[in-house]
Amino acid sequence: MTTNWTLYEAITILNGRRVRRHDLAMQLLEFAQASGNVVDASEYEHQALEIFRSHTDKRWSIVDCANFVCIQERNSTMALSFDRDFAQAQAEFRFAVLGAGAS
C-alpha cells in the first residue's frame, strides 16, 4: 500500500533528469493503479500539515507526514522505506521500518 503522493514522487524520480526512464515511470503507474492499493493522501492532508507544523525540529516532508498518518490510521505495524525520516518517526507513530530507512 502507498499513497498517491508517494507514488507521484517515485514516478517523478524515474522520469526525472537523472534516471530519464519514462517507460519505467509509466510501468510503475500502471502497476500501482492495477493493484488497488493506492490511498488518496488528500484525506490525510489536514493531519499531515499539523504534523509538519508541530515538528519544527524535523526535516520531514509533508508527503512523509501524510504517510505517517496513513500508517497510523490503518493500524499498520511496518513501513518499507529508504527514507531515514521514517526511522525518526517510527516510535512516535508506532510502526517499524523495513529497508534502508531502518538504520
Q: Do 45 and 59 reside in the same domain of the chain?
A: yes
b (16+ CB within 10 A) / e for 30-58: eebeeeeebbebeebeebbeebbeebeee
Q: Do 72 and 85 reside in the same domain of the chain?
A: yes
Q: Do 62 and 99 reside in the same domain of the chain?
A: yes
Burial class, 1, CB count within 10 angstroms (exposed 0-12 / middle 13-18 / buried 19+): middle
Q: Do 5 and 25 reside in the same domain of the chain?
A: yes
Q: State pLDDT tens for residues 75-92.
A: 999 999 888 899 999 999
Q: State pLDDT tens for residues 8-67.
A: 999 999 999 888 999 999 999 999 999 989 999 999 999 999 999 999 999 999 999 999
Q: Which residue segment(s) compose the domain that 27 sits in?
A: 1-39
Please check whether residue 38 is in contact with residue 3, taking contact to mean a CB–CB distance below 8 angstroms: yes
Q: Do 94 and 46 reside in the same domain of the chain?
A: yes
Q: Do 30 and 55 reside in the same domain of the chain?
A: no
Q: Do 14 and 54 reside in the same domain of the chain?
A: no
